[in-house]
Amino acid sequence: MKRPLAVLSAAAVLLSGAVVLAPTAALADVPAPTDSATPAPTDSATPAPTRPVLPAPPALVPGPVIPKTTVRWVNGTLTVVYSSAGPFLQGTSDWTSELRIDGVLVDAPEIGGFRDRVVSVHRAAAAGPAHVEVTTESDIERGSYYDVYPTTWFTATVRQHVVKAKKGQVAASALLGKLRVGAETRGASYSAKRFPQRVDANRDGETTRTEVLKTESTKRATVHRDTVRSGRWRSPYDGRVVRSPKKVVVDHLVPLQEAWTSGAAGWSTKKRTAFANDLGYGPALVAISPQAHRAKGSKEPTAYLPSAASYRCAYVKDWIAVKSRWGLSVDAKERTALTTDLATYCANPFVAKPGKPNLTALVGKPKPKAKPAAHHVVTKPHGTDPQYGTCTELKRHPNHAPYVRGVDPEYAWYQDRDHDGIVCE
């Protein structure tokens, strides 16, 4: 009894312009014609050589898993992300993956490991729905010849998905295309101490960590003297809810070590301080769970993506935007991974324009130096201001503070906590 090759089919799910492979069947046993069939006579007296009947296919070997394929047709660009090492058969000595669009071969990569392929083609909406098919041909050696088993493991028909940029947005792929590509350097000299943190740039008494926790708490956070006492945070990387402010980690979306090896090693201390306290671009600092922070560490997208699949697109686009904002480079593998991730996870290709950082606004102006103490107290022409007891109460009455030691007699009424010669600044 012979078994002909059965085709591995796949169900395609069309959603927001994206198609994801959902395997529905494996190779099946199908009865073949019986051996009693009479061969057709030949015209020659000498029988023509015949190729042996194709034997039954071996078991399917899907690589690590049967890979997912994503198809997106967004704003005139049709992108297919698929594995170049799709399902093949046991005993395969060589195999070839082929991508066809509307029956036309557009990609047939040389096999070089289990990796994703990203293929993009321009396609006008007038061309109509696109039919996409991915097949693998497994070559099994049979002595002096090879048996070739074709396996179709993905097929789908998609229509164009149109996304318009909102005001203040830019295509993440455009930002990625402008990033400098270069090898990472000077990793051994990295130290977190080179990036001063917890800056109070706007002099409101709240440092960077407090500002982030207040902004990202899903309920009103309570704060006392630059310490967040209560709130509720949902970590976008893994979806965990954190209720203790002490456990929340403020993550640099592009880690400090990654920044150091991508260009920050050559920055001034002021610029590194501004990067570490970048409240000027929302995605740069993210409140996350300690579990997500341990999983990410200092990894780049080649080694880490959030476990929450719904956040991966935002994460990848924000990574590109932050690197663009600060003029950081990407290495070749990182650029390839970002390109693949954009195509795989992003139905919406746009991200908020990152702009250029204002270092002074992010770091803050230096505190004014106290004037030298005079030999006598100078009295203001119109007398002293009312005494309010505390700086907090004083700040509710404009045009009074701050007071300078040796200049303003009101200085003696309030506490100079940082001993800089100025109170209630």
Domain residue ranges of the chain, discontinuous segments joined by +: 10-33+54-158, 169-363, 367-425
pTM of the model: 0.67
Average pLDDT value over all residues in the chain = 79
> Considering only 78-87, 118-127, 191-200, 202-211, which range has the smallest mean pLDDT?
78-87
Measure the N-to-C terminal CA separation of the chain; round to a whole number of Å. Answer: 92
Does residue 12 surpass a pLDDT of 90? no
Alpha helices (H) along 60-207? 172-178
Alpha helices (H) along 364-411? 391-394
Q: Which residue has the tokens 């671009």?
A: 281
Q: Which of 1-5, 75-79, 313-317, 339-343 has the highest mean pLDDT?
A: 313-317
Does residue 377 surpass a pLDDT of 60? no
Q: Which of 235, 255, 253 is nearest to 244 (CA)?
A: 235
Domain 10-33+54-158: give its CATH architecture.
Sandwich (2.60)
3-state class (DSSP) for residue 288:
strand
Tokens of 123: 């396609």
Given its phi and psi angles, is residue 216 left (phi above 0), alpha (psi -120 to 50 degrees) or beta? Answer: alpha
